[in-house]
Amino acid sequence: MHPRVSTTSTGHAPENSCCLITFTGGHARDVNLSREGDVLTAYQETISESMVADQVAILNRSLLLELWPKLILSNRVRNLWESRFPELAATA
């Protein structure tokens, strides 16, 4: 199941705004960008399940670096991302 973004905002959206991530299977998730739990869940799903174009549209570099140690990811996904982006491993 790959997410497709259906939103008026991206990872650069202002605080207290919402966006909607719609998955190919029809599953949609509203994300309140002022709630860390929502953002963590959206980032976890985006990193683990989405296509590169969607990751670029959704993820914000600064926020990703801040949240990386808190994200619950499989060892495989975490290792792949940290090998591609060593700065993530430095935050752990």
What integer pLDDT is reported at residue 72 of this predicted model?
96
Sign of the alpha-carbon torsion through 42, 55, 15, 25: negative
Residue spans of the domains in the chain: they are 3-89
pLDDT tens, 21-57?
665 556 667 777 778 888 898 899 889 988 888 888 8
pLDDT tens, 49-80?
888 888 888 889 999 999 999 999 999 999 99
Structure tokens at 5: 């973004």
First-residue to last-residue Cα distance in the chain: 28
Q: What is the pTM of this model?
A: 0.74
Phi, psi (deg, nearest 5) at residue 71: -70, 135
Q: Which residue has the higher pLDDT, 64 or 16?
A: 64
